[in-house]
Amino acid sequence: MKVITPITLGAVIFGAASAALAKPAPQTDSPSTKDYGDSPEDLNEVNIIGDRANNRRNAWWNRGDVALFEEYLATGERRIDGLTEQEIVRTAVELAEQAQRDTNGTARRRSFHAKGQACLKGTLQVEDLSGSDKAELRFGVFSTMRSYDVWGRFSSGSGQIQSDAVNDPRGFAVKVMNVQGSPVDPDFVDPLPTDGEGFMHQDFLGTNSPVFPTRNAKTFIDFHAATLEGGLTMVKFLANVKKDGPRTADILRKWIDPNVGSLADLTYGSGGAFQMGERAGKYWLKACDGNRKAVKPDNPGEDYLTEELSTRLNSGSREVCMQLEVQIQRHPKLHPIEDASVLWKDIPANVEVDRFYRNPELRPAESKKRSGAFVKVATIRFPLEGNQDFRSDARRAQCEGMFFNTWHSTAAHRPLGNINRVRRDVYKASFLYRDKP
């Protein structure tokens, strides 16, 4: 069986599907991004894990025990569309290893985001978040206004090394160095050395989509398997309404941008939800306000995205600038943690919000209670100094030895939801299976 474009739970590699859906779709709202309606039927488009399979949308919506900032797990074994999470993990790991197998005499690479266009050294500067109106933003890395050293890796989504001109999801991963704290999971400690006891490295990962392409981990492994098979199998999956195929296809049409001029111009969403101190939310990494926009060349070369970053560093502002923004969960059903395919938007005025706070002290000001806005908490800068050699073999080898994982995290930034829980073991298996320099 030929590997077309491998996918793991870390990111979607949409190869065979993009061939099947060759023409870009018109930019209309998909089921995951349309405005929320007024009726319970409209609101019930948000599904908890397994609800669609069990036809319990109304039961979910009318539950009285749901609350903000919490994962919702089935009693006993966690089951997603009939499978336990451990069963999904085993299948996902097998698919990741299948995607990484040596089929052409080359090294086993990352099973996703194999091609790194640039690995850059820089700094992350936390914003001034003082004042009572910004209290909900002060957590973890963002607790105090200070600077951290960081590594940033720009990449293309495929598990194969291919031309930058091939339409592909794009990724951006940031490793914040020497954060004070303890890992949320002692089994997931970044192997890079730290400044000493009490320090660790915090990772933030994003892909150029605000949402995940499937609603849960079970649907994703079905999608991943179809992608590895390719051809008609992928077409059948995308047409399968029971597996949300059409919805996935619609998200992917919008995700794969054929006109990327620079990886530094994109916005990279976390997809899944994360702990944010006492609250929960999502984050994204986007181009700094005022960044110049690059245009894709008429005849793009194999490495045109790397070349553009090199040119950017050596001219103009002489830096690559990104900003990190966070979005706080405001409603447990319209901003669901267990369905990563739902776009979190402003909450309609006719939807109740106050009753979902178990701790009333966590309620924000009235003006923020319904907001789906992202707020800047930090700026990341990659200057020319320290990055003149980012295209060298030594720098590439150094970066290929790095391990980026959402579970390299303190408790304040803990990954949430079934996608992230399954992702935990798949990422580690992928790292252990691949060849390192």
Q: Report the pLDDT value the prediction gives residue 81, as an integer from 0 to 100.
A: 74
Return the ∠ at Cα 396 (arms to 284 and 171), rounded to 5°. 20
**CA torsion 73→79→82→88, rounded to 10°?**
130
Q: Per mean pLDDT, which range of 3-7, 114-118, 207-211 is the poorest?
A: 3-7
Q: In the numeric block, which tokens belong to residue 216?
A: 């849960």
Q: In the numeric block, which tokens belong to residue 13?
A: 């590699």
Q: Per mean pLDDT, which range of 26-35, 59-68, 425-434 is the poorest?
A: 26-35
**Averaged pLDDT, 316-328:** 91
Does 50 score more than 70 pLDDT?
A: no
pLDDT class of 430 with cuts at 50, 70, 90 = low
Does 332 score more than 60 pLDDT?
A: yes
Does 275 score more than 50 pLDDT?
A: yes
**Averaged pLDDT, 371-392:** 94
Does 26 score more than 70 pLDDT?
A: no
Closest residue by Cα to residue 263 from 395, 169, 387 = 169
**Averaged pLDDT, 276-290:** 94
Q: Report the pLDDT value the prediction gives residue 25, as an integer from 0 to 100.
A: 36
Which string of DSSP letters, residue by residue, matches 365-380? -GGGTT----EEEEEE
Domain 16-433 has CATH 3.30.43.10: no
Domain boundaries, the chain: 16-433
pLDDT class of 106 with cuts at 50, 70, 90 = low
More confident residue, 419 or 224: 419
More confident residue, 346 or 5: 346
The length of the chain, given as a count of residues: 437
**In the block, residue with structure tokens 């990886």:** 263
Q: Report the pLDDT value the prediction gives residue 27, as an integer from 0 to 100.
A: 35
Question: How far is Cα 120 from Cα 117, in angstroms, rounded to an integer?
Answer: 10
Question: How far is Cα 11 from Cα 218, in angstroms, rounded to an integer?
Answer: 15
Percent of the chain past pLDDT 70, that is, above it, reads: 78
pLDDT class of 73 with cuts at 50, 70, 90 = low
Q: In the numeric block, which tokens belong to residue 118?
A: 């640039």
- Highest mean pLDDT range out of 218-227, 248-257, 327-336? 327-336
Does 57 score more than 60 pLDDT?
A: no
Looking at this protein, which amino acid is placed at residue 271? G
Question: How far is Cα 121 from Cα 384, in angstroms, rounded to an integer?
Answer: 9
Does 55 score more than 50 pLDDT?
A: no
Question: How far is Cα 78 from Cα 100, in angstroms, rounded to an integer?
Answer: 28
Does 250 score more than 50 pLDDT?
A: yes
Q: Report the pLDDT value the prediction gives residue 433, as an integer from 0 to 100.
A: 58
Question: How far is Cα 359 from Cα 223, in angstroms, rounded to an integer?
Answer: 39
Does 44 score more than 60 pLDDT?
A: no
Q: Report the pLDDT value the prediction gives residue 28, as an integer from 0 to 100.
A: 33
Q: Per mean pLDDT, which range of 41-45, 198-202, 208-212, 349-353 is the poorest?
A: 41-45
Q: What is the mean pLDDT of the chain?
A: 80
Does 233 score more than 70 pLDDT?
A: yes
Q: Report the pLDDT value the prediction gives residue 109, as an integer from 0 to 100.
A: 64
Question: How far is Cα 71 from Cα 93, in angstroms, rounded to an integer?
Answer: 23
Q: In the numeric block, which tokens belong to residue 180?
A: 């004070």
More confident residue, 88 or 297: 297
Integer angstrom CA distances of residue 127 from 102, 108, 150, 288, 391: 45, 40, 16, 13, 31
Residue 386 DSSP one-character state: T
Q: Are 11 and 219 in contact (CB under 8 A)?
A: no
Does 328 score more than 90 pLDDT?
A: yes
Q: Per mean pLDDT, which range of 168-177, 181-190, 422-431 is the poorest?
A: 422-431
For residue range 350-364, list pLDDT tens digits in order: 999 999 999 999 999
Q: Report the pLDDT value the prediction gives residue 100, as an integer from 0 to 100.
A: 61
Q: Per mean pLDDT, which range of 90-104, 218-232, 398-412 is the poorest?
A: 90-104
For residue range 138-177, list pLDDT tens digits in order: 999 999 999 999 999 999 877 778 899 988 889 999 999 9
Does 1 score more than 70 pLDDT?
A: no
Q: Report the pLDDT value the prediction gives residue 62, as an integer from 0 to 100.
A: 54
Q: Report the pLDDT value the prediction gives residue 367, as an integer from 0 to 100.
A: 92
Q: In the numeric block, which tokens belong to residue 116?
A: 């790194």
